[in-house]
Amino acid sequence: MPKPSLIPDFAYHPPDVPLSILYEDTAILVLDKPAGLLTVPGKLENRQDCLIARLQAARWDALTVHRLDCDTSGVIIFARTRQAQGFLGQEFEQRRAEKTYVARVQGVIADDSGIIDLPIGSDWDYRPRQKVTPEGRPAVTNWQVIDRSGTETRVRLTPRTGRSHQLRVHMLALGHPILGDQIYAPETLRDHNRLLLHAETLSLHHPVTKTRVSFTVPAPF
């Protein structure tokens, strides 16, 4: 794939939408994050509006566990106690948490499924871009075709590791960048109102009951 043109300036215009709480109890909060909203505050002053800040205004005890990219929507979990935060952090670190995503990508993928096993590291010349590089950290993504149209493919992506921008970098490496990606897609494929990547399901052990729980939000595209 040709390398995308320079990354456009990041103009942050977070959506003015109400919180979408999917589930809550005394230990966890599960939300449907909208696309275009940071999970945690950015470094610059005009990027303080974010999901955790909005959530803490309504649930003061909410604590961050993991993140979704600003332009990615979908299922995200927060803790309500330090003990729950530590437990859930280990679920992700030890890869006991399972996530699936839905994406629309450029082009028609011929095979029905596959595995991308390519290491990912920082592209220091084009921060915050990441890239496939032998010096990178191991990264593995399973993919499965959901359906195809004349010019694009809808896929379900299951990351087996948690590298920054992993799904976006891996699909670019496969030759099928995610549509609407302002960082990795060629400029001709950026003309969408959002990144067409959505965190569809999250499954992990509950920090109190220790039973496995799952949460699902269908993709809005």
Residues acting as catalytic residues: 69
In angstroms, the CA 32 to CA 165 distance is 19
Scored b (16 or more CB within 10 A) or e, 150-183 reads: eebbbbbbbbbeebbbbbbbbbbbbebbbbbbbb
Tally the C-alpha atoms within 13 A of residue 40's C-alpha that lie toward its C-beta.
10
In angstroms, the CA 34 to CA 40 distance is 13
**CA 111 from centroid of its chain's CA atoms:** 24
In angstroms, the CA 33 to CA 125 distance is 30
Q: Are strands 113-117 and 140-148 parallel, antiparallel or unpaired?
A: antiparallel
In one letter, which amino acid is 84? Answer: A
